Amino acid sequence: MPKQYPLNIAAEIEYAAKWAYSRNPRYYNFDGLGGDCTNFISQCIYAGGAAMNYTKDTGWYYSSPESRAAAWTGVEYFYKFMIRNKGIGPFGINIPLKEVRVGDVIQLGNHNYFYHTLLVVNIMGGIPFVAAHTIDTFNTPLTAYQYERARCIHIVGSRR
């Protein structure tokens, strides 16, 4: 059975601060292919010490643009992996927006689907401040976004 451990939230935030307005050349920039938001948030979580899960089709990993899991870059796939993962890699639970903490993930959506993934990097006055790619940002209040609904994932930790 894989061993569970907490992630290094400070390392996640440090990574987000360093790469929010540029791109780490180790990873492909998906801006022209639907957006880079979930790719960036996966990178942040990985920088926090999460183990990659190399399970074909259903894992969470990145080796190259051609060798990656859909959960590394796709909003819905990311959500399903994080919430359902019982094996190697990061995992989380759904929480209400009012309970988000630094290091958690927020996904924004409309009435049809969720389309954007953000990392909570700060909380001030009860308002989450986030980092993201596609529309590059760091320490931006969630109130700056227009969206119909949000779902929040508390990243509990990772397993290896």
Q: What whole-number distance in Å separates Cα of residue 132 and Cα of residue 17?
A: 10
Indicate the pLDDT class of residue 151, thresholds 50, 70 and 90: very high
Decide if pLDDT at 79 tops 80.
yes
Indicate the pLDDT class of residue 119, thresholds 50, 70 and 90: very high
Residue 90: what pLDDT?
Answer: 98
Residue 149: what pLDDT?
Answer: 97
Percent of the chain with pLDDT over 90: 96
Q: 123-158: string of b/e by CB count within 10 Å (b at 16+)?
A: eeeeebbbbbbbebbbebebeebeeeebbbbbbbeb
Asked whether 129 and 142 are in contact (CB, 8 A), the reply is yes
Enumerate the H helices of 48-134 as residue ranges: 70-73, 75-84
How high is the mean pLDDT of the chain? Answer: 97
Decide if pLDDT at 1 tops 80.
no
Residue 34: what pLDDT?
Answer: 87
The closest of 103, 99, 104, 113 to 148, measured between CA atoms, is 113
pLDDT tens, position by position, 4-51:
999 999 999 999 999 999 999 999 999 989 899 999 999 999 999 999
Sketch the domain layout of the chain as residue ranges: 4-159
CATH, range 4-159:
3.90.1720
Higher model confidence: residue 76 or residue 57?
76
- Count of CB atoms situated within 10 Å of the CB of 81: 24
Decide if pLDDT at 75 tops 90.
yes
Question: What six digits make up the tokens of 137?
Answer: 């940002």
Indicate the pLDDT class of residue 67, thresholds 50, 70 and 90: very high
